[in-house]
């Protein structure tokens, strides 16, 4: 197996190649004056199974096209199998028709990727397990939550309260609790599908005097975490931290979260950022080694 270092995940790709001892295939990328993408493998894949490490955070549409072009290039270069390692899988939130007239974006995207030559997908904490059922190739969905929780154990916060900002993220908080060994719970969150506005409540949570870590898959605008922090402050939490797998951090999200009383925001290198303190490379390395030997 060889690892193609996608332009969106250079550092993560290099780290994974180093940990797995697999040869890295570098990529040259340029954009034509009209905005079209040109991409080329700088060395041969030599008819080996390849894994392309390429996240699809914003600018997601560009990165999806780059991924598709890389898969095609690898296949034309003789790769019998192409595994896409896409830590943050864009469009996974539109995994069903919520309102009449919508499509299922993740299904369309997956069909496009399969058409480009992708045979299997490795992703991390996909937004909904339901999205996986829409994908036309074998998938491996890994969880980075134990690694994030371990970060807080190392900081001395064993026994912290693991909080999910909504019921859907409860499985995430439970995975964190297994590492932290403290209490676990979730807020209630309702979203208006037309306006996108959310409402959160925290009835029955016993967080007074506790160190609380809010775990979520994605931090996008920060609204969910800011709302959760406000409730936690009102309920008397002693310290508030937050951790996410995919730090999209749109606009001023980071500052707004800190201003809301959160002491630290921790993310992974699923999306490179200044809070990407936990690397996914060890997790991806194990999955690729298993694919290689299986």
Give the catalytic positions in this structure: 189
Binding residue for ligand R5P, selected from 220, 270, 273, 291, defined by CB under 6 A = 220
**Residue 165 binding ligand R5P, by CB under 6 A:** yes
The conformation of residue 271, written as its DSSP 8-state character, comes to S
254 binds ligand R5P (CB under 6 A): no
Q: What is the CA radius of gyration of the chain?
A: 20
Cβ(99)–Cβ(193) below 8 Å: yes
Listed in sequence order, the DSSP H helices in 133-276 are 145-154, 170-180, 223-234, 253-259
Using rule CB under 6 A, residue 267 touches ligand R5P = no
Site membership for ligand R5P, residue 224 (CB under 6 A): yes
Nearer to ligand R5P, 48 or 216 (CB): 216
Nearest Cα to Cα of residue 189 among 222, 214, 165, 219: 165
Determine the Cα–Cα distance for residues 145 and 180; give it in Å rounded to an integer.
11
Residue in 48, 95, 107, 216 binding ligand R5P, rule: CB under 6 A: 216
- Rounded distance, CA 81 to CA 181, Å? 41
Decide if residue 202 touches ligand R5P (CB under 6 A).
Answer: no
Give the sign of the dihedral formed by CA 54, CA 59, CA 63, CA 66. negative
Q: How far is the CB of 251 from ligand R5P (least distance, A)?
A: 10
Among 7, 117, 202, 222, binds ligand R5P (CB under 6 A): 222
- Of the pair 48, 217, the CB lying nearest ligand R5P is at 217
- Beta carbon of residue 222, minimum distance to ligand R5P (angstroms, whole number): 5
Of 107 and 217, CB closest to ligand R5P: 217
Element (H, E) at 108: helix 105-116
> Applying CB under 6 A, which part among 132-140, 199-207, 211-219, 267-275 lies near ligand R5P?
211-219
Q: Are 186 and 212 in contact (CB under 8 A)?
A: no
Q: By CB under 6 A, name the binding residues for ligand R5P.
A: 165-166, 168-169, 216-224
């Amino acid at each position: 197996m060889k690892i193609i270092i996608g332009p969106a995940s250079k550092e993560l790709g290099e780290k994974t190649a180093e940990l797995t001892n697999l040869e890295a295939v570098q990529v040259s990328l340029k954009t034509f004056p009209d905005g079209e993408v040109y991409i080329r493998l700088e060395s041969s894949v030599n008819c080996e199974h390849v894994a392309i490490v390429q996240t699809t955070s914003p600018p997601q549409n560009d990165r999806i096209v780059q991924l598709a072009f890389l898969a095609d290039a690898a296949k034309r270069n003789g790769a019998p199998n192409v595994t896409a390692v896409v830590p943050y899988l864009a469009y996974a939130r539109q995994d069903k028709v919520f309102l009449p007239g919508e499509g299922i974006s993740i299904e369309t995207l997956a069909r496009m990727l399969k058409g480009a030559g992708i045979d299997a997908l490795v992703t991390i904490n996909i937004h909904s397990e339901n999205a996986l059922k829409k994908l036309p190739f074998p998938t491996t969905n890994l969880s980075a939550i134990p690694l994030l929780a371990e970060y807080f154990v190392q900081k001395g916060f064993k026994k912290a309260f693991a909080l999910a900002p909504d019921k859907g993220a409860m499985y995430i908080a439970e995975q964190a609790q297994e590492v932290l060994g403290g209490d676990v719970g979730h807020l209630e969150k309702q979203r208006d599908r037309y306006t996108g506005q959310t409402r959160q409540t925290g009835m029955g949570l016993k967080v007074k005097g506790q160190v609380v870590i809010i775990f979520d898959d994605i931090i996008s605008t920060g609204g969910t975490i800011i709302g959760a922090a406000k409730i936690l402050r009102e309920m008397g939490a002693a310290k508030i931290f937050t951790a996410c797998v995919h730090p999209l951090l749109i606009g001023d999200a980071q500052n707004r979260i800190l201003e809301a009383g959160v002491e630290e925001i921790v993310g992974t290198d699923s999306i490179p950022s200044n809070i990407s303190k936990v690397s996914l490379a060890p997790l991806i390395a194990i999955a690729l080694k298993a694919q290689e030997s299986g």
